[in-house]
């Protein structure tokens, strides 16, 4: 029995059904920006393994950091103990993050970071004598994770969690942020935001959003002025601002953190994905001294959260090495070159009748179709062309590793444009022309 058949016997893959006939490709190694399949084929990775492998794979610097830490300890509980990797990583995050974020809470994953951030906001409001503030304001089109409270602030209708809408905590939603990145934000664009704060501001614990880039909810880029308005309104109404930078943190949008496009500091900043360069799962929640002191002064006097693998030494050591490597590699120039390559390489798709829009920001390139993609038939088209691209819904997008060469990027965009060119809309779905 081959590896794929053995996989199908027991493994449940993300966003899939057991027994699904959708293709699965066995990876036996990865090097640089290439995934090596068990049949000898190599694929240029356009996804950075869901946006986290910014340095590519099997990087000697990160390998060395992992080996050095393994020789000391791979894990120790964080309750009552500390260790150099966690302290050094926290100091680095505070140094690089927007001014005013001084406290770091480590968690296991992005979804858990959102859960912790929401609990942190609620506990802060309770400590401030504002227990009536129990709701969260979230723009539609957002995605914040798959755990229960994280799902509650994702789009409740069009999002991937609509099935659970009836049992999730009820939050407050507004329309998607407008206008698009690069356009001027007018009073009309902010009218609903102003209205919600005026009518329900005293019930809101926090506003949560993905700064500048709405990720898995639609890969949309919006104007920094909207983010500035959100910061202003939160301040005016005593509402905390949570910036979900799990996808955008560490350079993906062209800034180290996407909030820098708007020159604002959130009350809570969540980072993950690229934090360890894709080596291990780790995320962090950064907040202010003021919030930490408020929680300490209230009941029960501690923040009520503590994952078993919090502050894992191995993950923290790799994360510190990954951030140091990012800064040493002149990531701004890397991202700029990728942005230029994406703009040039994806431009031909703008002429296709079944393409609604092509947009690029930083190291993110998006081709939005007029209809959703049939994954089972379209995914193999990319593999046949030697690239790994994983569309979802109407979106065929790229988030390549920052270390990708211009030649590999051109091959990647050429393959994407070729696949999209060879699609047709049939029965409301984008399928191969041969279908």
Domain 3-55+330-432 has CATH 3.90.1150.10: yes
pLDDT at 228: 98
Could you write out the DSSP letters of every residue in 86-117?
HHHHHHHHHHHSPTTEEEEEEESSHHHHHHHH
pLDDT at 20: 79
Q: 63-328 maps to which CATH number?
A: 3.40.640.10
How do the domains of the chain map onto residue ranges? 3-55+330-432, 63-328
Positions annotated as catalytic residues are 15, 143, 244, 273
pLDDT at 259: 98
pLDDT at 163: 85
Q: Write down the pTM of the prediction.
A: 0.97
pLDDT at 159: 76
Residues in the chain: 435
pLDDT at 217: 87
Helices 84-96 and 313-328 pack at an angle, to 10 degrees, of 40
> Tell me, what DSSP letter sits at residue 180?
B
Q: Do 259 and 266 meet the contact criterion of CB atoms below 8 Å apart?
A: yes
SS3 225: helix
Q: Do 425 and 435 meet the contact criterion of CB atoms below 8 Å apart?
A: no
Residue in this structure with the two tokens 């939160």, named with its chain if needed: 234
Is the bond preceding 179 in cis, omega lying within 30 degrees of 0?
A: yes
CA 165 to chain centre: 22
Helix H or strand E encompassing 227 = helix 224-237
Helix H or strand E encompassing 395 = strand 395-398
Helices 406-421 and 375-384 pack at an angle, to 10 degrees, of 140
Pure H helices in 347-421: 375-384, 406-421
**Nearest-CA neighbor of 210 among 133, 304, 117, 322?**
117
pLDDT at 354: 98
pLDDT at 158: 74
pLDDT at 166: 85
Q: How many CA atoms lie within 13 A of 425 on its CB side?
A: 11
Strand 204-209 and strand 240-244: pairing?
parallel
Same fold, 3-55+330-432 and 63-328: no
Residues in the chain with pLDDT < 50? none
Q: Give the span between the Cα atoms of 272 and 269, in whole angstroms.
A: 10
């Amino acid at each position: 029995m081959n590896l794929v058949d053995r996989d199908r016997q027991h493994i449940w893959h993300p966003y899939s059904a057991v027994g699904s006939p959708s293709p699965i490709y066995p990876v036996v190694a990865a090097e640089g920006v290439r995934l090596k399949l068990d049949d000898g084929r190599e694929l240029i990775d356009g996804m950075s393994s869901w946006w986290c492998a910014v340095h590519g794979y099997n990087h000697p610097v990160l390998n060395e950091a992992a080996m050095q830490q393994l020789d000391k300890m791979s894990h120790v509980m964080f309750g009552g103990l500390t260790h150099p990797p966690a302290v050094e990583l926290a100091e680095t995050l505070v140094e690089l993050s927007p001014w005013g974020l001084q406290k770091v809470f480590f968690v296991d994953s992005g979804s858990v970071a959102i859960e912790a951030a929401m609990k942190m906001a609620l506990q802060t409001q309770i400590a401030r004598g504002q227990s009536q503030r129990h709701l969260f304001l979230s723009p539609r089109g957002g995605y914040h994770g798959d755990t229960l409270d994280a799902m509650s602030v994702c789009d409740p209708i069009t999002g991937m969690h609509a099935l659970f809408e009836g049992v999730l905590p009820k939050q407050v939603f507004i329309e998607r942020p407008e206008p698009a990145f690069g356009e001027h934000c007018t009073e009309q664009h902010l009218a609903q935001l102003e209205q919600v704060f005026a009518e329900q501001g005293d019930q809101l614990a926090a506003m949560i959003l993905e700064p500048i880039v709405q990720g898995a909810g639609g890969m949309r880029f919006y104007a920094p002025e909207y983010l500035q308005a959100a910061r202003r309104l939160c301040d005016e109404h005593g509402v905390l601002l949570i910036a979900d930078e799990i996808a955008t943190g560490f350079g993906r949008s062209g800034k180290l953190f996407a909030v820098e496009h708007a020159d604002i500091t959130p009350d809570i900043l969540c980072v993950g994905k690229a934090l360890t360069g894709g080596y291990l799962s780790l995320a962090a929640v950064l907040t202010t001294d003021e919030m930490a002191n408020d929680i300490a002064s209230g009941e029960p006097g501690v923040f009520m959260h503590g994952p078993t693998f919090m502050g894992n030494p191995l993950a923290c050591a790799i994360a510190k090495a990954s951030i140091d490597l990012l800064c040493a590699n002149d990531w701004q120039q890397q991202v700029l070159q990728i942005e230029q390559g994406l703009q040039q390489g994806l431009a031909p798709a703008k002429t296709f009748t079944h393409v609604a829009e092509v947009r690029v920001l930083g190291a993110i390139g998006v081709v939005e179709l007029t209809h959703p993609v049939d994954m089972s038939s379209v995914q193999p088209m990319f593999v046949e062309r030697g690239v790994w691209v994983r569309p979802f819904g109407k979106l065929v997008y790229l988030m390549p590793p920052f270390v990708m060469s211009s030649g590999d990027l051109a091959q990647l965009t050429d393959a994407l444009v070729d696949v999209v060119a060879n699609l047709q809309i049939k029965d409301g779905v984008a399928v191969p022309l041969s279908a």
